[in-house]
Chain A
Amino acid sequence: SQTIHQWPATLVQPVGSPLSLECTVEGTSNPNLYWYRQAAGRGLQLLFYSVGIGQISSEVPQNLSASRPQDRQFILSSKKLLLSDSGFYLCAWSVSSYEQYFGPGTRLTVT
Chain B
Amino acid sequence: GENVEQHPSTLSVQEGDSAVIKCTYSDSASNYFPWYKQELGKRPQLIIDIRSNVGEKKDQRIAVTLNKTAKHFSLHITETQPEDSAVYFCAAMSTGSARQLTFGSGTQLTVLP
- Chain A residues within 8 Å of B, Cβ to Cβ: 32, 34, 42-44, 46, 49, 51, 57, 59, 90, 94, 98-105
Contact = CB atoms under 8 A, between A and B. Distances in A.
Nearest to B33: A98
B44 A44 contact: yes
6 contacts: A42-B106, A51-B97, A98-B32, A98-B49, A102-B43, A102-B45
B98 A32 contact: yes
Contacts of A57: 98
B89 A43 contact: yes
Range of interface residues on B (Cβ < 8 Å): 20 to 34
Interface of B: 32, 34, 36, 42-46, 49, 51, 89, 93, 97-106
Which of B51, B97, B98, B104 has the most A CB atoms < 10 Å from its CB?
B98
B103 A44 contact: yes
A98 B42 CA distance: 22
A102 B34 CA distance: 13
Contact of A101 (B46, B51, B102): B46
A110 to B, nearest CB: 18
Contact of B46 (A46, A49, A99, A105): A99
A46 B44 CA distance: 14
B43 A46 contact: no
Given A42-B105, A43-B104, A43-B105, A94 B44 contact: no
Nearest to A59: B100
B92 to A, nearest CB: 11
Contacts of A102: 36, 43-45
Contact of B34 (A43, A46, A99): A99
B43 A100 contact: no
